[in-house]
A = this chain, B = another copy of it.
Amino acid sequence: MSRIAAFGEVMMRLETPGFSTLSQSGNLAYSFSGTGVNVASALARFGHETYLASTLPDNSLGEAALAYLRKLGIQTTFVNRGGRYIGMYFLERGFGIRPGKVTYTDRLGSSFNTVPRAPEDWVRIADSVDAVHLCGITLAMNELARTQIKQLARAVKSRRGTVIFDCNYRPSLWGDGGYALAAPHYREMLELADIVFMNEKDALLTLGMPSGGTDRLAQLRELIPQVAKQYGIGTIAGTHRQVNGDNTHTLTGYSYTEGAFWFAQPSTFSVYDRVGAGDAYASGIIHAALRGDAPQYAVDYATAAAVLAHTVHGDTPMAAEAEVVKAMSRTAGDVER
């Protein structure tokens, strides 16, 4: 069992029932998520002691978010209270060719993105954990967020903790010309990171690396080793996802570690709620890395965790370690009684 802190914003997810739109319905189900929340929750279910480092407003919405985090099994010792707002997004599920829709409220005004933490906070967190999980979405927010994510990464690194960074580049957050804006920050994070989640697109677009590869796989095989070498990263991992016509997806997980690629068997499955599946994959890789599992086991475990995350309502992976292990060898699902 390791101790891991994830640093990131808590978002409120508000969702219309079934496949109805906001104009049709009058009801919303709400929950709280975010990349850090998802990773901390998944790792707690894998048996680790996990913390979220974040900031929430000191009002009823902040209380509700905290209660939700605790329910997920996340320690909230490093959640500050302050500021006035929590970021929100409204989700309308699509059906067939009708796409789902996500509508955000003002994220930049959230407590997480406006309230600075005291420098000693980073020290306190870094002293308490074995590893920290950081995410490219935080990089996209504003100067405050960027400053803080780096402070935390450096504090952990200087204490020989493991720095985990998920590139998670979101074009809509960076806007036009975003790759150029993002590149220096991403490079800085890669310098600090021990485990990185990315694929060939991040290398091509964000880092601006050239490739002679003619398909995704060739580009991946060409670029990822270069990134690992250049930035001195022990493990780089990620997935290729393919959306099929019949409401199934196909996922292929990979990991580049110890100078070699390891691939999981492509997995095809029906999708119930796809948000957060990437975080489940990352959590699986982290879990295996912290335990020292073999690389092949790591990608297999992470893939099973990701597939299970598609079968659960909500952003946040809910499968315990035993359930993931079971799913690694299962094909069909029947009632267990």
Contacts and interface: CB of A to CB of B under 8 A. Distances in A.
A164 to B, nearest CB: 24
Interface string A5-35: 0000000001000111111101111110000
Given A14-B28, A318-B24, A99 B333 contact: yes
A91 B85 CA distance: 15
A335 B94 contact: yes
A94 B323 CA distance: 12
A21 B68 CA distance: 13
Contacts of A84: 106
A272 B27 contact: no
A19 B311 contact: yes
Given A94-B333, A330-B97, A31 B23 contact: no
Majority secondary structure of chain A interface residues (helix, strand, loop or mixed): loop
Given A59-B103, A318-B21, A97 B26 contact: no
A337 interface: yes
Contacts of A177: none
Interface of A: 14, 18-24, 26-31, 59-61, 63-64, 67-68, 70-73, 84-85, 88-92, 94-106, 109, 172, 243, 245, 247, 269-270, 272, 274-275, 307-308, 310-314, 318-319, 323, 327, 330-337
